[in-house]
A and B are shown apart, each in its own frame.
Chain A
Amino acid sequence: MGTGLTPPTLELVALTGQHVQLVLLATAGATALAIPLGVVAVRRPTLGRFILAAAGVLQTIPSLALFGFLIPLPWIGGIGARTAIIALLLYALLPIVRATVTGITGIDPAVRDAALAMGMTPRQRLLQVELPLALPVIVAGLRVATATAVGVATVAAAIGAGGLGSYIFRGLRMHDTGLLLRGGVPAAALAVALDIALALLSRNLDARAHGGRARVRGLAAVTVAAIAAVLAAGAWAGRAQIVSGAASAPLLRVGSKDFTEQRILGELLAQTLESAGIRVERHFELGGALCHQALAAAEIDIYPEYTGTSFTTILKHPAGPAPRVVHEQVRREYRQRFGFEISDPLGFRNDFAILVRRETARRLGLRTLSDVARHAGTLRAAFGPDFLTRADGFPGLATRYGIQLGQAPREMDLSLAFHALAASEVDLIASNSTEGLIERLDLVQLEDDQMWFPPYEAVFVARADALARIPALGVAISSLSGRISTEAMRRLNLQVDGERQPVELVVSRFRQGLATAKQTP
């Protein structure tokens, strides 16, 4: 990227390689840790119960929560593959520890007695008798761990670790089944392939442990060769994907949240910086509140944000003040509390938008939400589950404006709601003001005249130290301030979400447009 387009196949190979790498390093690390833990658990049952309980608790932590928990930790934390591998490793511990304990305690007591009675040292017993006999069971545990790791590794994409989950997250956001399949099918195939390989290995080891002659070595060699091939291909395909530019240029890490608009803004900044000779590392598609955490942990230097999010979600202020006030206050408090700088507004707002068809607006004379209150009895509404139930969503809005709908609003997935609105099955939906479909379907956004919603002005949040280190960063940001109108952002979103154009292409075209506009004032 940055230097041109990555053909889809290349990206698939790169992401598959990353996925295998995550799974492999995590399960290898887990095995190295879990077998000794299992042995300790067998030797000291009291400690063993504690070890198993702790590994069990780790497994019940939801994966995204575990990622979020690891990010701020020094050394092992941060965003990217390292944190993902540690999280996957922690998940993989339990099945392997448990298998080690089961494998060793399951050995025929007479055999264990024989080893003891021969005067074998604990180490000799472990290496010559216990581990060889427990190995088939341990490999069966490894099988479970690997299957889990392949699955959980798809979530790792949320913290910028890449892997096949990137497709899945992208597909979920864009309601693109093709993308979902492109991530899901190889992940499933990978899980099945690794499972078959380990099942065969386990069966052959079991045969060997009971005196059968088995083809353990050949089997292991084939598996290792196949994995190495996938890794090598992935590394080759992914080499130029993240980091751009000459190694001597200053390096800046640009983050973005995990939806299209954020990727566009991240890419826009990245391309602007690259054309100014700055080397850029892209950490796009970070889930949830990870961007803020990553910035605080100095894992990234800058990412696009919305003042309303900073004001309400991060600084925990109630909505109410005007956009300018919110911007000023966020800028001041961010500087004091975090050492972050808030840029000037980029020009558009991504507010909550209450939408109606243009025809409805004209017929009923709807311009503001106060107008809606007067006609609410005749309007049929559909909202996403979030907006429908959150206090700062529809319930609060209805109270503030005194909106009493004739019939209860229907709960509907957002993309379906747009279809329903276009087909006149409903009259009113809630979305974002930069949604590309607003233009395409010729919808009208009703004004929040009582300022119930906080204003979500788009800005960049940067670490002050990055701004000081790379003076060109400030220049690049200023060159984008006030340059992106709400209509422009809707068009960009539509090109990526609706028309499936690659983000890089959409952004570079938009930059050309900006350049010509500058030359002809």
Chain B
Amino acid sequence: MQLTQNSTSNAAETVISFRRVSYCPPGATTAVLDELSLDVEAGEILVLLGLSGSGKTTALRLVNRLVEPTQGEVRVEGLSTMAWDAIQLRRRIGYVIQEGGLFPHFTVARNVAVVPTLQGQQPDVVQRRIASLLQLVGLPAEQFGHRFPHELSGGQRQRVGVARALAGDPPILLLDEPFSALDPLSRTSLQREFRDMMARLGKTAIFVTHDIREALVVGTRVALLESGRLSLVAPPNEFAQARDGLAGAFLETIAPSWGPA
């Protein structure tokens, strides 16, 4: 399978930069994100780890400007999201939505085809791309392409969501718990597949999960989000050394396999 990469990015470049970003939903009294600062370099897979409600999804939605910061700014490729044309910005970013968000009135194939079609690619090119992406996520087009989302299992729908986010070959990916509904075996193989593909294509990604094991496998760095603040940002091998706080508690859950040798 051949996936192309259309952005040229050198390793030192900062692709996504949170600069003292706070977000407080309209009407709410407490901030969901509180002065978040974080740089994501080109080619990185930054894993955002955190408990439910800690603000992970909100952080992703700030990047493609589905929400706008109350304070501070988010820069994408050097430009504040507020300075970007929202549509141009979003076309550079693939987004896997936590709840799936597949178009119920489109078949699987047509769901995946949306972005390439918007980009004006030729129908035969689009067809080939659909076939290779569905193959990648383990849902052969011949068998699944003509089905509607409601004719799939939850995990299959998630995988279509991943294929759809990749379809436009965007330089940046935002993935919100993309494999959470999968069985451990499929999940592990997709995690590996994903990590290798990202390394190969040099895309930049923020990957949200609350699964510590997944965080350590997939991430080039792991950032721990605690009630809207970052409490630890470290490469997986360093992160795995943490003994106390929330990071320690997360690691406890997988202690037998990650404990000191």
Hey, which bits of chain A sit against chain B, CB under 8 A? 108, 110-111, 113-121, 124, 128-129, 132-133, 208-212
Residue interface mask B62-88, A partner, CB < 8 A = 1: 001010000000000000000000111
Known contacts A210-B148, A210-B150, A211-B148; is A118 also within 8 Å of B115 by CB? yes
- Determine the chain B residues whose CB is within 8 A of the CB of A209 once the complex forms: 104-105
A116 lies within 8 A of B90 (CB): yes
Docked pose: A107 CA to B31 CA in angstroms: 28
Docked pose: A212 CA to B66 CA in angstroms: 30
Docked pose: A108 CA to B102 CA in angstroms: 10
- Determine the chain A residues whose CB is within 8 A of the CB of B148 once the complex forms: 210-212
Docked pose: A117 CA to B79 CA in angstroms: 18
Task: Find residues 92-122 in chain B having any chain A CB closer than 8 Å to their own CB.
Answer: 93, 95, 97-107, 114-115, 118
| Nearest-Cβ distance from residue B133 to partner chain A, whole angstroms | 15
- Determine the chain A residues whose CB is within 8 A of the CB of B106 once the complex forms: 211
- Determine the chain B residues whose CB is within 8 A of the CB of A212 once the complex forms: 148
| Nearest-Cβ distance from residue B110 to partner chain A, whole angstroms | 10
- Determine the chain A residues whose CB is within 8 A of the CB of B93 once the complex forms: 117
B107 lies within 8 A of A119 (CB): no
A119 lies within 8 A of B104 (CB): no
- B149 interface residue per 8 A CB criterion: yes
A-B contact pairs, 29 of them (CB 8 A): A110-B97, A110-B100, A111-B104, A113-B97, A114-B103, A115-B103, A116-B66, A117-B90, A118-B95, A118-B114, A118-B115, A118-B168, A119-B86, A119-B87, A119-B88, A119-B115, A119-B118, A120-B87, A120-B118, A121-B87, A128-B114, A133-B105, A208-B105, A210-B148, A210-B150, A211-B105, A211-B107, A211-B148, A211-B149
- Determine the chain A residues whose CB is within 8 A of the CB of B105 once the complex forms: 132-133, 208-211
- Determine the chain B residues whose CB is within 8 A of the CB of A210 once the complex forms: 104-105, 148, 150
Hey, which bits of chain B sit against chain A, CB under 8 A? 64, 66, 86-91, 93, 95, 97-107, 114-115, 118, 147-151, 164, 168
Known contacts A210-B150, A211-B107, A211-B151; is A113 also within 8 Å of B118 by CB? no
A111 lies within 8 A of B118 (CB): no
- Determine the chain A residues whose CB is within 8 A of the CB of B97 once the complex forms: 110, 113-114, 117
Our pick among A114, A120, A208, A211 for the contact of B150 (Cβ within 8 Å) is: A211
- Determine the chain A residues whose CB is within 8 A of the CB of B91 once the complex forms: 118-119
A117 lies within 8 A of B104 (CB): no
Docked pose: A118 CA to B119 CA in angstroms: 10
Excluding A118-B114, A118-B115, 14 further A-B contacts by CB distance (< 8 Å) are: A110-B98, A110-B100, A111-B101, A114-B102, A114-B103, A116-B66, A118-B95, A119-B86, A119-B90, A124-B118, A133-B104, A211-B106, A211-B148, A211-B149
Our pick among B64, B118, B147 for the contact of A117 (Cβ within 8 Å) is: B64
The residue on A at minimum CB distance from B111 is: A114
Which 3 A-B pairs give the minimum distances between C-beta atoms? A211-B148, A110-B101, A114-B101
Docked pose: A128 CA to B103 CA in angstroms: 10
Docked pose: A110 CA to B95 CA in angstroms: 11
Docked pose: A118 CA to B168 CA in angstroms: 9
- Determine the chain B residues whose CB is within 8 A of the CB of A114 once the complex forms: 95, 97, 101-103, 164
Docked pose: A212 CA to B98 CA in angstroms: 24
Docked pose: A117 CA to B150 CA in angstroms: 22
Docked pose: A108 CA to B97 CA in angstroms: 12
A117 lies within 8 A of B95 (CB): yes
- Determine the chain A residues whose CB is within 8 A of the CB of B95 once the complex forms: 114, 117-118
A108 lies within 8 A of B150 (CB): no
The residue on B at minimum CB distance from A111 is: B101
Docked pose: A280 CA to B98 CA in angstroms: 72
Known contacts A117-B66, A117-B95, A118-B114; is A211 also within 8 Å of B100 by CB? no
- Determine the chain A residues whose CB is within 8 A of the CB of B103 once the complex forms: 111, 114-115, 129, 133
> Which of B93, B99, B105 has the most A CB atoms < 10 Å from its CB?
B105
- Determine the chain A residues whose CB is within 8 A of the CB of B147 once the complex forms: 211
Docked pose: A115 CA to B103 CA in angstroms: 9
- Determine the chain A residues whose CB is within 8 A of the CB of B98 once the complex forms: 110
Docked pose: A117 CA to B93 CA in angstroms: 8
Docked pose: A485 CA to B82 CA in angstroms: 86
| Nearest-Cβ distance from residue B129 to partner chain A, whole angstroms | 15
- Determine the chain B residues whose CB is within 8 A of the CB of A132 once the complex forms: 105
Docked pose: A210 CA to B102 CA in angstroms: 11
> Which of B103, B114, B147 has the most A CB atoms < 10 Å from its CB?
B103
- Determine the chain B residues whose CB is within 8 A of the CB of A116 once the complex forms: 66, 90
| Nearest-Cβ distance from residue A309 to partner chain B, whole angstroms | 61
- Determine the chain A residues whose CB is within 8 A of the CB of B87 once the complex forms: 119-121
The residue on B at minimum CB distance from A117 is: B95
The residue on A at minimum CB distance from B114 is: A118
| Nearest-Cβ distance from residue A190 to partner chain B, whole angstroms | 32
| Nearest-Cβ distance from residue B160 to partner chain A, whole angstroms | 11
- Determine the chain B residues whose CB is within 8 A of the CB of A211 once the complex forms: 104-107, 147-151
Docked pose: A210 CA to B148 CA in angstroms: 8
| Nearest-Cβ distance from residue B71 to partner chain A, whole angstroms | 23
- Determine the chain B residues whose CB is within 8 A of the CB of A128 once the complex forms: 114
| Nearest-Cβ distance from residue A211 to partner chain B, whole angstroms | 2
The residue on B at minimum CB distance from A107 is: B104
| Nearest-Cβ distance from residue B83 to partner chain A, whole angstroms | 16
Docked pose: A124 CA to B90 CA in angstroms: 14
Docked pose: A212 CA to B147 CA in angstroms: 10
> Which of A113, A118, A209 has the most B CB atoms < 10 Å from its CB?
A118
The residue on B at minimum CB distance from A212 is: B148
| Nearest-Cβ distance from residue A204 to partner chain B, whole angstroms | 13
Docked pose: A39 CA to B88 CA in angstroms: 24
- Determine the chain B residues whose CB is within 8 A of the CB of A108 once the complex forms: 99, 101, 104
- Determine the chain B residues whose CB is within 8 A of the CB of A115 once the complex forms: 103
| Nearest-Cβ distance from residue B95 to partner chain A, whole angstroms | 4
Docked pose: A114 CA to B98 CA in angstroms: 10
| Nearest-Cβ distance from residue B168 to partner chain A, whole angstroms | 8
The residue on A at minimum CB distance from B152 is: A211
| Nearest-Cβ distance from residue B49 to partner chain A, whole angstroms | 22
Docked pose: A118 CA to B165 CA in angstroms: 8
- Determine the chain B residues whose CB is within 8 A of the CB of A111 once the complex forms: 101-104
The residue on B at minimum CB distance from A129 is: B103
| Nearest-Cβ distance from residue A138 to partner chain B, whole angstroms | 14
Docked pose: A132 CA to B110 CA in angstroms: 14
The residue on B at minimum CB distance from A209 is: B105
Docked pose: A124 CA to B115 CA in angstroms: 11
Docked pose: A115 CA to B104 CA in angstroms: 12
